[in-house]
Amino acid sequence: MQPRTGSASAHRPPSRRAQPSLARSGHGRPGRARAHDRRSSAAIAALPRIYVTGHRNPDTDSIAAAIGYSELMARLDSEHDYKPVRLGDLNTQTRWVLDRAHAREPDFLPHIMLRVRDVMRREFPLAADDEPVREVGWMMARQDLDLVPIAAANGELAGVMTERALARRYIRESREASRLDAPAKVSAIAEVLEGEILTGEDREVNGRVWVLAMEVDALPEEIEAGDIVVVGNRDDAQLASIEIGVSLLVISNRCAPSDAVLSAARERGTTVVRSPLDTYVTARMITLSAPCCALMDPEPLTVRPDDLLSDVADEVKEVHYRAAVAVDAARKPIGLITRTDLVGPRPRQVILVDHAEQAQSVPGVEQAEILEILDHHHIGSIETKVPVRATFDPVGSTATLVIERFRHNGMEPSRPTATVLLGAILSDTVILNSPTTTERDHAATEYLERVLKIDATQFGREMFESTSDLSRVDAEAIVSRDAKEYEASDGRTLCIAQVETVGQALDERRDELLDALESVRERREYVLNALMVTDILAKDTDLYVSGEIGPLEHAFGEPVKDGVLPLPGVMSRKKQVAPKVLAAF
């Protein structure tokens, strides 16, 4: 008779070999030889990450504040990974400062919206494509998952085993003759049974599975050479099966075959396996010994780790197993995302420095968890869902605030960080000559002079002289340098950029710069696009403008001539230009 649908739970729990293998190890092939518990090194002791970022179109103060505050917070809080990032390309001056300080350039952060990698499970069961169906089913049950990823010999994702595939297999078997879903090695069958091969070759078998529970004279005529027979301690049935030419004879209940049976098996080329399980369970387990590749879905839903969660959520919810496998560029499984991972995921965390305007911040900041704001500008349009620590302090540079935090905590920045912070203070205060400069900026500069044992004024002059030549810089790059967007009272957006020169005017490039301003204004739909060209020696500014100039002329009491508004004695965007422009609009 043929075994019908039933539970395999009557036998003892799986051996150590059958334990789920967790998140690929990165070397070799996942499979039966290494199916014991293992962990991905990427998943060990990974600290929650907090990004520290300045504004878009970053200037030296924005980058330095991110670097310095990340270093300070990492020393104060060992439970998180503080990572400085940038929101755009570095300008010439900032690169010069980083090179001079031997400091690493922060990584670029394109957005702070949730990605697959932020919620995916890095520990997950992973089976080889030749792993027995039974082992994969145990992985699924132990991990309480609807699927298990299947890896090919080269480590690439081959498919997934799903609960639906297993259920359909049982339904199909209840209506048809039991058989292996694909050829299986005798050694794999013996291992699933926790039995032993007594004689014969470790061949692949692929026939129907029969349980001989009747008299020898009444054996089904359908039994053929190449089939698999399960029988207890009945020599006549064992010999009859060998005579038919079955490929595999499995003797249940730990029964020992007679010498005559073993001799006959050797003569006819039948492999004999002894199983410790009862006859029914043995037959069921044999059908579960087929490689899982026979039942897997070869085209599972896959995602990339940097895919936006919002882009893949609907697909994950719609697929019947409610999950997706995250794969790397080589299509190797690196994570698993399920429907439950989509429920209330924690947003990415960020600290904002040197800005508080949403238009100047990282894309997706409205979806992030803002932990703190450290700024020296006006209170901007950033909104938070819960109260946060926010500092808006009227000093000349955010770097000054960072230095004060170091000193308040009794700490000294590393030499690279101290050098970068000094460059930022001198940049934002124009070597302490800007009207925004305070005594606190002077004190921070003097402190850094002592720490670094350098002359700050000489350092600042060298910095400006080495980076103020704009003759070879593209016009659109100039009008976008250190550009900051502001929201007017009527909801429209305006932008003010700033570059510093050392006794070098840009009069000869006026038309080129005005064309670039107009091009950017039209593309980004600014009501006003302006560029401050500030001569740090003359201590004045020419304001190049494109857009609605009427409110601008009214604000400064001077007419715009040929697209340029002269501003004698003006050096600070934050204190002398932005407030008047925003009030006018």
Band of the pLDDT at 206, cuts 50, 70, 90?
A: confident
Q: How far is CA 481 from the centre of its chain?
A: 30
Distance CA 570, CA 567 (A): 6
Query: Rounded to whole angstroms, what are the CA distances from 195 to 190, 198, 240?
Result: 5, 9, 22
Dihedral angle computed from the Cα positions of residues 74, 75, 79 and 83, in that order, rounded to the nearest 10 degrees: 10
Return the half-sphere exposure (C-beta side, CA atoms, 13 A cut-off) of residue 116: 25
495-554 residue pLDDT tens: 999 998 887 668 889 999 999 999 999 999 999 999 999 998 888 999 999 999 999 999
395-426 residue pLDDT tens: 999 999 999 999 999 999 999 999 999 999 99
The domain 49-113+348-466 belongs to what CATH superfamily? Answer: inorganic pyrophosphatase (n-terminal core) (3.90.1640.10)
Query: Rounded to whole angstroms, what are the CA distances from 56 to 62, 88, 214, 366, 473?
Result: 9, 6, 81, 15, 19
The Cα angle at residue 252 between residues 247 and 257, in degrees rounded to 5 = 70
pLDDT, average across residues 295-299: 91
Per the structure block, which two tokens stand in for 40? Answer: 């991905």
CATH for 475-584? 3.10.310.20
353-367 residue pLDDT tens: 999 999 899 999 999
Give the pLDDT of residue 362.
Answer: 96
Per-domain residue ranges for the chain? Answer: 49-113+348-466, 475-584
- Best CA proximity match to 392, nearest among 404, 372, 410, 378: 378
110-159 residue pLDDT tens: 999 999 999 999 999 999 998 988 889 888 888 888 899 999 999 999 99
Whether 45 has a pLDDT exceeding 60, the answer reads no
